[in-house]
Structure formats: C-alpha cells, structure tokens
Amino acid sequence: MTASLTDSLGNPVTLRAEHSLAALNDFVEGLIACEARAVNVLQAQADASPLVQAYCAALHMFAESADAPRNARRFIQQALAHAHQASEREQRFVAAVAAWVDGDLPRAIDLHEEQAHLHPRDLASIKLGQYHLFNRGDSPGMLRLALQAQPAAADVPYLHGMLAFGWEQCHRLKEAEDAARRAIHLCRKEPWAHHALAHVMLTQGRISEGIDFMSSVSNTWTGLNSFMVTHNWWHQALFLLEQDRHAEVLALYDQQVWGVVTEYTQDQINAVSLLARLELAGVDVGNRWADVADHLALRLADHVLPFLDLQYLYGLARAGRTEAVRALLHNITTHAATRTEAHERTVWQQVCMPAAHGLLAHAQGDWATAVEKLGVALPRLVEIGGSHAQRDLFHQIWLDALQRNGQWATVQNLLQPLCNAQPQSVRLARQARRVNQALGLPDPTPPDFE
C-alpha cells in the first residue's frame, strides 16, 4: 500500500496501485460535480484498497433499488477486511458506507458529520452525508454539514453548490442565491448550483427569469449523471408549466426528462411528477403513463425511501395497473409495520401510510378520502425527504381533491396566498379564476409588470 498520494482535493489516499488514482478522482469529482464519470471507479475495483472498495459500494447504493445493498456488500466487505491498512479518514468513510449498506443511517450520518469536522475537504463524504440528511428531511443538518467545510474548501465551486441547496431547503433564499452565484462564478458548469438557483427563482415567483437562466446554462449540462441532467430539465419544465406552455413541457418530457436512463429511480419519479402535474393542469398526456408504469411495476418490493414509493404508487394508479397497485400498497403496509428504527417507523407509519391512501384515493376519484388522508400527511410531509419543489406535487393533488370535493372556500384560502407569491404564474391565476367563479367572487386586479 502507498500513502504518498493525494486525491484532487488534497486528501491523502492509501492505494495498492497508483494507477487507481485517476479512477478514484473520477468518483470524487464526479460525485460532487454530478457527472457520470463517477462510475469510472468501477474500473479500479480489482484494487483492494479500502477507499476504492467503499467508493464502489457507494456507487451501487446510489441505485436506490432493493438489490442495491446486495450488490454493494461484496465491495464493502472487502473494504472492511483491509480497513486496518487505511488512514483514519478512509476508515471512517468505509464505516459510514458500511452503515449505509446495513441500513443504519443515523450512524452513517454521525460518521459523515465527524468527517466534516476532522477532514473538511473530504467533499465526497460531505456530499454523501447531505444525501442521507436530505432523504430524512433534515435540511438544517444538510446546511450545517456544508458550512463545516466552508473555511477549508471555499476554493471549490461544488461546495458552494452544496451550500446553496442547503440554504434554499432551509428557506434562506438570499444566502442560497449568493452561494449559487458564487459557485457559478467559480465554475459556470455547476449543475447543482443551477438547480439550487432554479429552486430560489421558482419559490420567489421569478418564472420568466428562471426560464431564461436555465436556458442560458443548459449548454453546460454535458457529461452529467442521468439524475442531474433530467432533473434540471424537469425544473425548466416546471417554469414553463407555470406559464401554461404545455406543448413545450410535453416536448421536454419526451426529449429530456424521460428516456435517458429509464431504469433509474430518480428518472422515474421525475416522469411521474411531471405527468401528474400536466394532468392536474388539464393536459391530456396520451399514453405516456404506460411506458413509465412498465418500469414502476418492477419497484413493488423496493421500499428504499417512502418518498419514492409514494410516487411509484401514484404512477401505477394513474396508469390503471390495478394488480401492481394492490401489491405495492400491501408491501408498503407490511414494510411500515416492521420498521424498528425510530425515525423510519414514524415516517413510514404516520406519514407514508396516510399519504399512500390519499394518493390512491385521488387516482381512483375518491375525493373525500383523498382530502382526508392527504390532509393528515401534508403537515409532516417534509419527514419523507424530497425537496420543496418535489413535495409540491402532493399539495397540488390535495388542492385538486378539495376542489373536486366541492370545498371551494377551503381551496380559495389555500390558493390565493400561492397566487400572491407567484404573480407570474398563469397556471395559478387560471385556477383562481375558476374558484372565484364558483364562489361568486370577482377576480383580483392583475399585477402591473410594466
């Protein structure tokens, strides 16, 4: 083993073969830059170095599938077997990935937080820690983790992207925009910062500016992993959807959002979410649900994250896959009942279960049940993970159920504040006109954009 090498961020690494360094750096840089080259670490999998093996295991876990831990286990076992030959930083990263593979996310998060304190330029560890915290709805934890690295890694653009998304998820929009623009100043091709800034602009109702911004940087979205490229186009589609530019949204769905890596979980939920939003806006999506459902039907026993399962369920229901829906709901119920870790048990049983019944009721036209069950889940929906923009789908479905259930006064009280915050949203203004008409109210004076 040789310990005289450093990765591209200056962290010492212990390798059996020096030629593995390039593949190791591809993982580190690819992970923090959201680039597909992270998979190149698999080219070095013959190197028994603990860090290489842990990176290979992490790569398999990012598949977010039921078989991911099984595929990752041989790598993490190899890493653990040789961990005594590695540095304490590398040993801690190995232990964190081992905890992830074992399903012990609290321990994994603790180790990533310790790593950020002791080795703040280990940005691969910080990125992975943020991923776990995001999936548990702990946005303050995401932000604290990135802030820990700021004094030591302010020269790295991708850290500012991590900071930007942490600030945004904590509703600190000015700090989020400042961090995102700092990242883009350091590196124009920083897709995670583009993504964070899109969140800020959508939240602040800067719809036209958001469309122009995402268009202006989209030429840099090359060599990215499928999640990042499809998700940034998904964000552009959300901006266009607010302007009722439905034909353009459908074109983005067909050309950029769906069909890149159709077997990947994140690509699948991007598709479910966008099709659902289109239908809620009154758009006929044709037979597009069928192709997505073919892939969702393979997810009936996954249960990696409740946030994913809920969208699989709704997508299958919208596609009319009755048997698959019945099987998935049964499996979710069984999984929820068998959780032992406190956070998991609470989230699956108290948030995911009512949300699942509410989403299914909406898909089946049972508006009263949809209103009731989603009303229970929505105040705590942050606990299932996902971003504000992603979880907004569930709020839109609830509003639609309320309206279809004739609860117009409730809808007006929920919808008008959204219109006030999003004065450029044609979609919301159109919905508000219908509500005002039903209630016998005049429409508000349109804002003056001159």
pTM: 0.96
**Which pLDDT score, from 0 to 100, does residue 447 have?**
61
Would residue 202 count as lying in a domain? no
Measure Cα distances from 167 to 158, 200, 292, 297 in Å: 14, 10, 33, 36
Q: Which domain holds residue 85?
A: 1-153
Place 445 in a pLDDT band, splitting at 50, 70 and 90. Answer: confident
Place 4 in a pLDDT band, splitting at 50, 70 and 90. Answer: confident
What does the mean pLDDT of the chain come to?
A: 96
Q: What is the pLDDT of residues 304-316, one digit of tens each?
A: 999 999 999 999 9
Q: What is the pLDDT of residues 76-102, one digit of tens each?
A: 999 999 999 999 999 999 999 999 999
**Which pLDDT score, from 0 to 100, does residue 444 have?**
85
Cα–Cα distance measured from residue 156 to residue 123, given in angstroms and rounded to the nearest whole number: 9
Would residue 29 count as lying in a domain? yes
Say which residues have a Cβ less than 8 Å from residue 243's Cβ, sequence separation at least 6: 207, 208, 211, 424, 425, 426, 427
Q: What is the pLDDT of residues 319-339, one digit of tens each?
A: 999 999 999 999 999 999 999
DSSP symbols for 296-355 = HGGGTT--S-HHHHHHHHHHHHHTT-HHHHHHHHHHHHHHHHT--SHHHHHIIIIIIHHH
Would residue 328 count as lying in a domain? no
pLDDT at 125 over 90: yes
* Closest residue by Cα to residue 129 from 154, 157, 152, 95: 95
**Which pLDDT score, from 0 to 100, does residue 2 have?**
64
Instruction: Mark which of 153, 172, 199 sits at the end of a domain.
Output: 153
Asked if 278 contacts 244 with a C-beta cutoff of 8 angstroms, the reply is no
pLDDT at 360 over 50: yes
Share of residues in the chain with pLDDT > 70 (%): 98
What crossing angle do the helices spanning 157-169 and 21-33 adopt, rounded to 10°?
A: 30
DSSP symbols for 112-140 = HHHHHHH-TT-HHHHHHHHHHHHHTT-HH
Instruction: Mark which of 104, 130, 153 sits at the end of a domain.
Output: 153
**Which pLDDT score, from 0 to 100, does residue 448 have?**
59
Would residue 136 count as lying in a domain? yes
What residues pair up with 2 in beta bridges, in sequence order? Answer: 15
Would residue 316 count as lying in a domain? no
* Residue at token pair 């390039």: 22
- pLDDT, average across residues 222-251: 98
Instruction: Mark which of 135, 153, 171 sits at the end of a domain.
Output: 153
Q: What is the pLDDT of residues 64-78, one digit of tens each?
A: 999 999 999 999 999
Would residue 117 count as lying in a domain? yes
Cα–Cα distance measured from residue 212 to residue 169, given in angstroms and rounded to the nearest whole number: 23
Of the chain, the end-to-end C-alpha distance in Å amounts to: 67
Asked if 200 contacts 177 with a C-beta cutoff of 8 angstroms, the reply is yes
**Which pLDDT score, from 0 to 100, does residue 450 have?**
45
DSSP symbols for 382-414 = GGG---HHHHHHHHHHHHHHHHHTT-HHHHHHH
Q: What is the pLDDT of residues 129-151, one digit of tens each?
A: 999 999 999 999 999 999 999 99
Provide the domain count of the chain.
2
Instruction: Give the type of residue at 305.
Output: L
Say which residues have a Cβ less than 8 Å from residue 258's Cβ, sequence separation at least 6: 230, 267, 270, 271, 274, 288, 291, 292
* Closest residue by Cα to residue 400 from 426, 378, 425, 370: 370
pLDDT at 229 over 60: yes
pLDDT at 285 over 80: yes
Would residue 123 count as lying in a domain? yes
DSSP symbols for 139-154 = HHHHHHHHHHHHHHHT
Asked if 73 contacts 48 with a C-beta cutoff of 8 angstroms, the reply is no
Cα–Cα distance measured from residue 349 to residue 345, given in angstroms and rounded to the nearest whole number: 6
What residues pair up with 35 in beta bridges, in sequence order? Answer: 224
* Closest residue by Cα to residue 41 from 134, 124, 141, 155: 124
Would residue 188 count as lying in a domain? no
Q: What is the pLDDT of residues 394-436, one digit of tens each?
A: 999 999 999 999 999 999 999 999 999 999 999 999 999 999 9
Would the CA dihedral through 41, 258, 415, 412 be positive or negative?
Answer: negative
